[in-house]
Amino acid sequence: MKRPAFGLMVLAALFVLPQLWLVSLALKTGPAVYEFPPRFIPHQPSLQNFRFVLEKTQVPVYLANSATVSVLATLLTLFVGVPAAFVLSRERFPGRERLFALLMVVQMVSSIVLLVPIYSVVDALRLLDSHFGLVLVYVGIQLPFTITVLTGFFDALPRALFEAATLDGASRARTLTRVALPLIAPGLAATAIFNLAAYWSEFGLALVLLDSQQRFTIPIGLYSLQSGYETEWQIVAAASLIGILPVMAMFVLLQRYFVTGLTAGAVKG
């Protein structure tokens, strides 16, 4: 076996084995959860934990909250980021290079470092413990990344296309919607998928900005299932699997668009 192939197999195993162990724990019940040495394949697998999570906990509510926040934040991020990236790519104005460099620098600042000022701003806007306030924060945090990535896709388009559109009398808005966006559709899809996954799994900001259990997203909901005295880990494992299944399904179904989008902007036109 060639070394690159072996290395890829080891890397894949590092990602897959924890997921398989999560499945094993979610299928266990009773004493089998705490048996030692632990059995990887349950002796009597059961879906009881999944039924309990869906029927006796608020995990379905957490999933609906995460879907609402993630989709709304992704759409708003693209709504603001697409025209900003288009202007940054196609227009030449004073300070353009400095602005682009600033966007790169801002991405290096962790949102955790900004928790206190973010909390103060959201509190001043009276948006604490609301999905809309969380969405606005997500958009602000993710916009620099989105603009930077989409600028690369716009840069890869031949300039002759835009010159021809200008000669035909197309406005900037029409050039963006009718010429540029269809050509960068794979990159747009890849950026949307990346943002959606980031919003779905975000924990720190949601933990600080949300207080009501009815508004918890799935990461905070999973955290709330843990107890300070005794945690039923098989229930947490089942809920975790239910929480990551939507993202995994999205990547499987849209994998072609994601890979195409990541490679589309690699070569400049």
For 136-181, how does the pLDDT look when each residue is reduced to its tens digit (9 = 90+)?
Answer: 999 999 999 999 989 888 888 888 888 788 888 878 888 888 888 8
Q: What's residue 257's pLDDT? A: 65
pLDDT interval class at 258 (50, 70, 90):
low
Question: What is the overall mean pLDDT for the chain?
Answer: 85
- For residue 216, the model assigns a pLDDT of 95
Q: Structure tokens of 252? A: 């499987």
Give the residue from 199, 100, 196 showing the smallest Cα distance to 150.
100
Among 27-41, 129-143, 244-258, the range with the most confident prediction by mean pLDDT is 129-143
Mean local confidence (pLDDT), 110-136: 92
pLDDT given at position 28: 85
**Encoded tokens for 93:** 């104005």
Task: Kindly write down the DSSP assignment for every residue of 74-99, as one continuous string.
Answer: HHHHHHHHHHHHHHHHH---TTHHHH
Q: Which CATH superfamily includes the segment(s) 61-225+245-264? A: MetI-like (1.10.3720.10)
| Residue 229 pLDDT class (50, 70, 90 cuts) | low
Question: Do 71 and 196 touch, CB atoms closer than 8 A?
Answer: yes
Burial environment of residue 159 by CB neighbours within 10 A (0 to 12, 13 to 18, 19 or more): exposed
Confidence band for 253, pLDDT divided at 50, 70 and 90: confident
* pLDDT grade for 266, boundaries at 50, 70 and 90: very low
Q: At 267, is the pLDDT very low, low, confident or very high (cuts 50, 70, 90)?
A: very low
pLDDT at site 2:
61
